[in-house]
Chains A and B, each alone.
Chain A
């Protein structure tokens, strides 16, 4: 608020209107005030803010530009301006404005502070350093010196490893001086000092000296969990084995569960001696005695730490010198005896089990089965039985089963699940039923069966069981994830979306989890639904842009130096997220497909911004993959693929996929503008050609050898000759126009274009109609949608070829032959769409509700091998869900058919 009382009186009503969100009135009041005083910057800035808040960004930015020219220096105007520009993601202008204001008012500390902060928003470390030093000089506060040191350190982090780092040396000298003057006082300042030392080679001893020295004591550094851990790390690195061992032992006596300290303890045992001397060493004796003692101390409610420490110790001995298999196996068996009823037991032991010999692994499970039998009456027994089943699955007991064996096992797990239900009848709605994992394991077995037999019936049965179990455990996201994947394999996108929306995915999960629902979302022909999901998830990136820089500023304000790097890294992780780009390309596909007339599609392409449409190596490599693929439960043996991999409808999109769907819109945009063929066009064409010649993955390859599907490669293959046709025609027209001696005979041009378009047309023809087996899986939709998408692109390229002749050729009649060739090709495109329509019409007949009931549903239920399906209690659910799947197919087909019809030209 301005300090001048007159002005304040003027501004008060404006602020009041804005505060209650009445931006329209805000604008009116500003206009009124500006009529009397047209140059009142603060009022202009407030008007800009009112525009921005009411979504009129262009008007807001135009006003901002006006104000910028006038170089205002009052804080209120600058603050308001900064708010508007920030929400538009424009940070640069404020740097200049604050610099100017600060130079005009050198005594104003706040303005200088804002100047520093405006640089920090753009991560301009060098600029920060200079301003921080100036702040320190003018205002003499110690924290400004630390800002300067931090800014120098951050510059040092950008120096490639291995090169001399002048920034760290400088930062260290400045820090040492602060320290001598007694100005390093807080734990955060100490942390900054440590960052500088440890950022340099071989400075462990110095860092340790600091931690153990005066400041370490003054700031109670070793009471801080992290610094205590760091100290031990440094003791190990500097070879002070005894000190390190004593320190870890002390911690472990207090908290025997502290795993990272257990690992440090073991380092002090193993690192100082050669493997050859290990067997009879004092160290090993000491470690065995220590862990045994720790185990002995665990009596009532034992902690897992000491027992895991023993396993880890003996496991390492086995890895290093062998001859220790029996002790490891015995420890594993006895661990299960103690903790077998804890749900985490599988996680605790699986990495050790995976390293056992096959026979030992079998022996492990056999012994557990002998000891614990099948008893599962109590919560603990159920949990133990589930752990046992997980291990049996994990060592391969349930692999390579035939249908009969799988069906029997699925029935067994379903029975166990149902028997566990009464035990959990009083559980709260937010909890899970105790036997839920049986259902998930049954689903895993059915997924195996689907993979082996290619039949979709196992997947349908899996959805029924999961849906049924979900009604007793509403929030079991593990069931939901399997369901989403299975519905996608079944081509039932509406069903997958329905489940996804109940997961309440939020914040950063949009970056890590949304791939489950947005990967190749175009496939299902439900463009609006797909776009809603994609835009919803994309918000996280906007909030990252807007919010994270402010947090970095806060870190300076609070002098939280230890968090500075974390914030900068976090910002970069989201900013450079691979998922963000993959989603962006998917949105471009969908937005393009929403323009169903060729002329609108061309306009859309002309308006498409290509700033973000990068695909070069450096850009691809610097994408960061934050997608979470490990979240799905998986007990599959190490030798087979994970459930997450097995349930992918197609290879996971990655950089290659991103490149394909970057190159396509860029080529189309080039054509839409009728831009002359240039180096950039050649590069796009060459990239597309490389992608077109890559070998497709078959669903059997896992992991996939190529992240593109056969359909996507075909799309690239079709677009290559079309891209070349544009090039040939453009060159011919230019030569004709200039009457150059190199000009071709028009018939030759027509023949060349014809060759290109004919090879595209050949690829466009799909072999045979799509046959329906009652289920319309992902693959069928993928094939249909890709054809529609391909023709949508070809409609544009054909129109561009025609436009080329119509607007660029001096004598249009010369290219009559080419014109005819293009018309021919357009007819081929129509045929391709007609084939799609015929297929869709046939499929629509199969998925009508009455046909589903008499067809698919009958097949599912008639003589089913599954007790679940045979039970009269489940008939209603099975019918409901089958009809829902059918409705989703119908929805996709109807939409896709409309899209196809709209593109027949």
Chain B
């Protein structure tokens, strides 16, 4: 498996990686925006044949009032490649860049309360803590889905911790 920086060309297989239904429906320009503004923060994982098996899309949170921190916009691993630590590696890579390039102190993400699998990954495996809970609405074509969403945060490890 490889972890490498995401390129625009990856967008096509990245989308196919996402073929399963998700209420989020990111526009193309949203991917573009990430790739352009923070090219160092978004990564893809490839299998041995060079096919995309997962990706993390991340950005810098531009809130001048808060401490510099990163935000995970989207994390996805193809079903066939689950339980191999792919998500963890993608996150680590992105977080290292958040720390080294942008001096981030922590990283946040949103996860739906009903998404138990994701919650388990973030909370138990990646050690995120739940900071906040709020109601969000997603357009799903027929109307609005009402979902509870959790905001999770985690401190970005500094280099010394990582060595240990």
Contacts and interface: CB of A to CB of B under 8 A. Distances in A.
Given A558-B36, A563-B8, A631 B47 contact: no
Contacts of A573: 9
Nearest to A220: B100
Contacts of B22: 504
A554 interface: yes
Given A259-B2, A566-B8, A512 B15 contact: yes
Interface string A356-392: 0000000000000000000000000000000000000
Given A226-B4, A547-B29, A631 B16 contact: yes
Interface in A206-258: 220, 223-226, 229, 255, 257-258
Contact of A507 (B15, B36, B117): B15
Interface in A6-42: none
Interface string A472-499: 0011010000000000000000000000
Nearest to B35: A563
Nearest to A626: B12
A659 B2 CA distance: 41
Given A225-B93, A543-B28, A344 B16 contact: no
Contacts of A700: none
Contacts of A342: 83-84
Given A229-B4, A259-B1, A563-B35, A431 B117 contact: yes
Interface in A530-576: 540, 543-544, 547-548, 550-551, 554-555, 558, 560, 562-563, 566-567, 569-570, 573
A507 B84 contact: no
A351 interface: yes
A319 B26 CA distance: 45
A513 interface: yes
Interface stretch (B59-67, B74-82, B145-153): B74-82
**For B9, B36, B82, B116, which residue has the most chain A Cβ atoms within 10 angstroms?**
B36
A347 B49 contact: yes
**For A303, A308, A544, A563, which residue has the most chain B Cβ atoms within 10 angstroms?**
A563
A275 interface: no
A260 interface: yes
A21 B120 CA distance: 43
Given A308-B48, A566-B8, A503 B19 contact: yes
B20 A430 contact: yes
B164 interface: no
A260 B47 CA distance: 10
B81 A507 contact: no
B33 to A, nearest CB: 8
Interface in B117-138: 117
A506 interface: yes
Contact of B85 (A303, A431, A560, A569): A303
Given A509-B16, A547-B28, A547-B29, A260 B81 contact: no
Chain B: interface size category: 35 or more
A608 to B, nearest CB: 30
Interface residues of A, number: 60
B16 A430 contact: no
B89 interface: yes
Interface in B27-42: 27-29, 32-33, 35-37, 39-40
A537 to B, nearest CB: 13
A477 B19 CA distance: 7
Nearest to B37: A558
A540 B100 CA distance: 36
B21 A475 contact: yes
A504 B40 contact: no
19 contacts: A225-B4, A229-B4, A259-B48, A260-B4, A342-B84, A343-B81, A347-B80, A351-B48, A428-B116, A430-B20, A430-B115, A432-B79, A503-B19, A511-B12, A548-B32, A554-B36, A560-B37, A566-B9, A569-B9
The 9 residue pairs across chains A and B that have the minimum distance between CB atoms: A566-B8, A570-B8, A477-B19, A475-B20, A343-B80, A551-B32, A260-B2, A475-B21, A547-B29
Interface of B: 1-5, 7-9, 11-12, 15-16, 19-22, 25-29, 32-33, 35-37, 39-40, 43, 46-49, 53, 79-85, 89, 93, 100, 114-117
Given A502-B21, A507-B27, 12 more contacts: A223-B100, A257-B89, A343-B79, A344-B53, A344-B81, A344-B84, A348-B47, A503-B21, A506-B25, A566-B7, A567-B8, A569-B8
